[in-house]
Amino acid sequence: MAEAHLSPRIIPDRLQSRGSRALKSWESLLLVVAIAIFAINSFASPYFLDPWNLSDATFNFTEKALIAFAMALVIISGEIDLSVASIIALSSTAMGLAVTMGADMPMLVVVGLGTGLLCGAINGLLITGLGLPSIVVTIGTMSLFRGLSFIILGDQAYTGYPASFAYFGQGYVWWVFSFEFALFVFFAIVYSVLLHKTNFGRAVYAIGNNQTAALFSGVRVGRVKFILFLLTGLMAGIASICLTSRLGSTRPSIALGVELEVVTMVVLGGVSILGGSGTIPGVVLAAFIMGMVTFGFGLLNVPGIVMSIFIGVLLISVIALPILWSRARRRRAH
Amino acid sequence: MAKLLKNREILLVVAIAILLAAITLRFPGFIAPANLARVYNDTSILIILALGQMAVILTRCIDLSMAANLALCGMVAAMLNAAFPGIPIPLVILVVVALGALLGSINGLLVWKLEIPPIVVTLGTLTIFRGSIFLLSKGAWINAHQMSDAFKALPRTSLIGFPVLSWLSVLAIAAVYILMTRTAVGRAFFAVGGNPHAAVYTGIDVGRTRFFAYCLSGGLAGLAGYLWVSRYAVAYVDIAAGFELDIIAACVIGGISIAGGIGSVGGAVLGGLFLGVIKNALPVINISPFAQLAISGTVIIIAVAVNARTEKRKGRVILKKAEAV
């Protein structure tokens, strides 16, 4: 669906210095917004600044952010994965099924991760093996994966997860820092290194900017993309373990519509939906912003569906505003 | 013969015939004309929506907000009827079609004027439309007893042996067929999707054509909104949730290329009918309705794989003669 812009590109005579580029970057704007939201929230509700409340607030975004890291790489490479919420559902259903068959705690984790990897592999094979457009494939697997959960579960629910399983979604590593938050920090670092410091990361950017050129430069495009979808499946599996553990139950409608929030988080983080640019620190900031905004709304008793309007508006406006801004600047330049 | 087999419409007719034959083995009554008419009637709304989605996909875009648009327009129609039962139904339909087209034009404007990728725009408007239903209705349902009898009766009123719902879909098919094959805008849909750069050079405004496609899909979603609400006699926030996938599935099955520029009205209709037959057959042959989502997903994946294969074969060396010389 991505296509080149028809408008001409303006190439500046002189490159900006490192400092001024960092100041004008999307990430620094996000940082300002994050601080502003933090400040507004602390004024709007006296309960916001409590450390335990803030700790609770992190649960609003940690699971989604885990997927968003992998999704950022997928989108930078010029593809998209809309099936992540359904992978969560199928993973969770598989774990529930495993519980009824008497699986113990480590086995549950294996089942959860394995299902995620398998789903990611199916997406990757269809997209890279058969060369199909990722948007339609993942719309298809989105109904397939959730459909399988519906076939297995129907209108039933799985509960009865072992007590030790609760740690992933409800446990704390130290003081107010939850296990999920620790995972979030860990994977933020892992994905930052992977994208910004390795050959693999460079290959992801190269593919997103010009797939044909990347191919001719010796990048194994198919293999890189396959790994990206595998990673997304794995992260969805991890998110599923956390979410299932936190809720303590599985229904086929679990995590409905999460793919939208994940994509919004990635795009808000400054990743170009057309591929080729974006950073992990940007996604981390976007995760904080979305988490704090939804938590702030929650403290003010705003219903969930109204928050979803906000997320929809946010998604469109974060893409529209830079376009309008650069257009206005170009007009001034002429 | 080989040419016939490559024709998507004929392939689909054969596939539907095989499907019907297989169902008839288990349940002979399914193929009775009266039942087939019921299956068509049940699929009418999907067909109407698939026609709009087809126009959008032809121009290399996608409309994920159609089901949410339908739900919002359906809610407005129901609330309008509940508050003012005196308003004649044709006027209500006119209002929701206009409202649907207006909502579609928001998608269209964002795609046209700001060049935001269509998938992001419609993913965003999907949630905005759904949320707006909640704001509008405050989460309450409009139930059958709040709607006037005329409001509920129209789609099922019989006209020359078939319900008005069926006739409306036939009318929509005819109108979109004429639009696609006999008007400049219809040809522009194909041109824009086939090659946007070439379309610019032939004097077609790519953005404006996409805008029209979104208005069309929006207007049809508005019509479907009234039909849905009056047929099921209830309106609430989540009606037709997830139906956007069925609409896209119908198009993909009908051979409309997601890469744009390839497709036909016949394909969209047959793609919708294929899904409609499956959906109506599931309870008859004792398969849980919960299986439907997985089946749609599998069919989408198979259909897009088949599409990719047939589209690949179309490539050919056009300068062969020059090379020979």
Mean pLDDT, residues B142-160 taken together: 87
Angle between helix A221-247 and A199-209 (nearest 10): 110
Interface test with A, best of B120, B238, B243, B295 (most A CBs within 10 A): B120
Tokens for A276, please give them.
């080729």
Determine the pLDDT at residue B325. 44
Element (H, E) at B111: helix B89-113
Tokens for A298, please give them.
């929650």
With CB atoms and an 8 Å threshold, state whether A1 touches B135. no
Write the CB contacts of A245 (distance below 8 Å, at least 6 apart in sequence). Answer: A161, A165, A166, A167, A168, A169, A170
Print pLDDT tens along chain A (334 aa): 444 455 566 666 666 676 777 767 788 888 888 888 888 888 887 877 888 888 888 888 999 999 999 999 999 999 999 999 999 999 999 999 999 998 889 999 999 999 999 999 999 999 999 888 898 899 899 999 999 999 999 888 898 898 889 888 888 888 888 999 999 999 999 999 999 999 999 999 999 999 999 999 999 999 999 999 999 999 999 999 999 999 999 998 898 888 888 998 998 898 988 889 999 999 999 999 888 888 888 888 888 788 888 888 888 887 888 788 888 888 877 7
CB-nearest partner of A306 from B135, B249, B308 = B135
Write the CB contacts of A192 (distance below 8 Å, at least 6 apart in sequence). Answer: A280, A281
Of B291, B285, B275, B277, the residue nearest B28 (C-alpha): B285
DSSP state of B86: T
CB-nearest partner of A150 from B128, B200, B290 = B290
CA distance A256 to A252: 9
Touching B: A residues 61-80, CB under 8 Å: 80
Touching A: B residues 9-38, CB under 8 Å: none
Touching A: B residues 218-247, CB under 8 Å: 237, 242, 245
Residue B6 pLDDT > 80, yes or no? no
Please check whether residue A230 lies inside any domain of the structure: yes
Element (H, E) at B20: helix B8-26
What is the nearest CA distance from B132 to chain A, expressed in angstroms?
7
Please report residues of B whose CB lies closer than 8 A to that of A1.
60-62, 117-119, 258
Q: What is the CA radius of gyration of chain A?
A: 21
Q: Looking at the complex, does the CB of residue A135 fall below 8 Å from at least one CB of chain B?
A: yes
Please check whether residue A143 lies inside any domain of the structure: yes
Determine the pLDDT at residue B283. 81
Cβ-based contacts under 8 A for chains A and B: 146
Question: Which chain A residue has the Cα nearest residue B126?
Answer: A312
Please report how many Cα atoms fall inside a 13 Å half-sphere around the Cα of residue A258, on the Cβ side: 27
CB-nearest partner of A150 from B197, B259, B293 = B293
| Rounded (to 5) percent helix, strand, coil in chain B | 80, 0, 20
**Confidence tier at B316 by pLDDT (50, 70, 90):** low
Tokens for B241, please give them.
């949730």
Tell me if A112 sits within 8 A of A240, measured CB to CB. yes
With CB atoms and an 8 Å threshold, state whether A3 touches B196. yes
Please report how many Cα atoms fall inside a 13 Å half-sphere around the Cα of residue B268, on the Cβ side: 32
**How many structural domains does chain A have?**
1
CB-nearest partner of A306 from B60, B134, B252 = B134
Q: What residues make up the domain containing A251?
A: 47-333
With CB atoms and an 8 Å threshold, state whether B245 touches A143. yes
Determine the pLDDT at residue A14. 66
CA distance A265 to B77: 34
- Give residue-wise pLDDT tens across range B170-210: 999 999 999 999 999 999 999 999 999 999 999 999 999 99
Write the CB contacts of A290 (distance below 8 Å, at least 6 apart in sequence). Answer: A60, A61, A64, A261, A264, A265, A268, A311, A314
In sign, the C-alpha dihedral spanning B231, B232, B237, B242 is negative
Determine the pLDDT at residue A301. 83
Question: Which chain B residue has the Cα nearest residue A308?
Answer: B127
Question: How many C-beta neighbours within 10 Å does residue A248 have?
Answer: 15
Tell me if B87 sits within 8 A of B118, measured CB to CB. no
Residue B245 pLDDT > 80, yes or no? yes
Residue B4 pLDDT > 90, yes or no? no
With CB atoms and an 8 Å threshold, state whether B304 touches A257. no
Question: How many C-beta neighbours within 10 Å does residue B85 have?
Answer: 13
DSSP state of B261: S
Q: Looking at the complex, does the CB of residue B313 fall below 8 Å from at least one CB of chain A?
A: no
Touching A: B residues 109-168, CB under 8 Å: 110, 114-121, 123-128, 130-132, 134-135, 139
Tell me if A167 sits within 8 A of A179, measured CB to CB. yes
- Looking up residue A296, the CATH number of its domain turns out to be 1.10.3470
The more confident residue out of B280 and A127 is A127
In sign, the C-alpha dihedral spanning A51, A53, A54, A56 is positive
- Give residue-wise pLDDT tens across range B16-72: 898 888 888 888 888 888 889 999 999 999 999 999 999 999 999 999 999 999 999
With CB atoms and an 8 Å threshold, state whether A130 touches B124. no
Please report residues of A whose CB lies closer than 8 A to that of B62.
1, 135
Touching A: B residues 49-88, CB under 8 Å: 60-62
In the three-class reduction of DSSP (H, G, I as helix; E, B as strand; rest coil), residue B77 is classed as helix
Of A254, A258, A286, A257, the residue nearest A270 (C-alpha): A286
Write the CB contacts of A156 (distance below 8 Å, at least 6 apart in sequence). Answer: none
Please report residues of B whose CB lies closer than 8 A to that of A264.
124
Burial class (CB in 10 A: 0-12, 13-18, 19+), A21: exposed
Tokens for B261, please give them.
């520029």
Q: Are strands B162-163 and B158-159 parallel, antiparallel or unpaired?
A: antiparallel
Q: What is the signed CA dihedral for A261, A267, A271, A272, rounded to 10 degrees?
A: 130
Question: How many C-beta neighbours within 10 Å does residue A199 have?
Answer: 8
Residue ranges per domain, chain B?
A: 39-239
Touching B: A residues 140-169, CB under 8 Å: 140-148, 150-151, 154-155
Determine the pLDDT at residue A196. 95
Tokens for B175, please give them.
């109108």
Q: Looking at the complex, does the CB of residue A328 fall below 8 Å from at least one CB of chain B?
A: no
Question: Which chain A residue has the Cα nearest residue B112?
Answer: A320
SS (H, E, C) chain A: CCCCCCCCCCCCCCCCCHHHHHHCCHHHHHHHHHHHHHHHHHHHCCCCCCHHHHHHHHCCCHHHHHHHHHHHHHHHCCCCCCCHHHHHHHHHHHHHHHHHCCCCHHHHHHHHHHHHHHHHHHHHHHHHHCCCCHHHHHHHHHHHHHHHHHHHHCCCCECCCCHHHHHHHHCEEECCEEHHHHHHHHHHHHHHHHHHHCHHHHHHHHHHHCHHHHHHCCCCHHHHHHHHHHHHHHHHHHHHHHHHHHHCCECCCCCCCHHHHHHHHHHHCCCCCCCCCCCHHHHHHHHHHHHHHHHHHHHCCCCHHHHHHHHHHHHHHHHHHHHHHHHHHHHHHC
DSSP state of B142: B
CA distance B71 to B229: 8
Please report residues of B whose CB lies closer than 8 A to that of A126.
301, 305
Determine the pLDDT at residue A2. 43
Is the ipTM higher than 0.90? The answer is no
Tokens for B299, please give them.
């069919």
- Give residue-wise pLDDT tens across range B288-315: 878 888 888 898 898 888 877 776 655 5
Q: DSSP states of B34-71 as a string?
A: HHHHHHHHHHHHHHHHHHHHHHHHHTT---TTHHHHHH
Please check whether residue A119 lies inside any domain of the structure: yes
In the three-class reduction of DSSP (H, G, I as helix; E, B as strand; rest coil), residue B146 is classed as helix
Strand partners, B163: B158
Please check whether residue A8 lies inside any domain of the structure: no
CA distance A123 to A232: 10
Tokens for A267, please give them.
């795009």
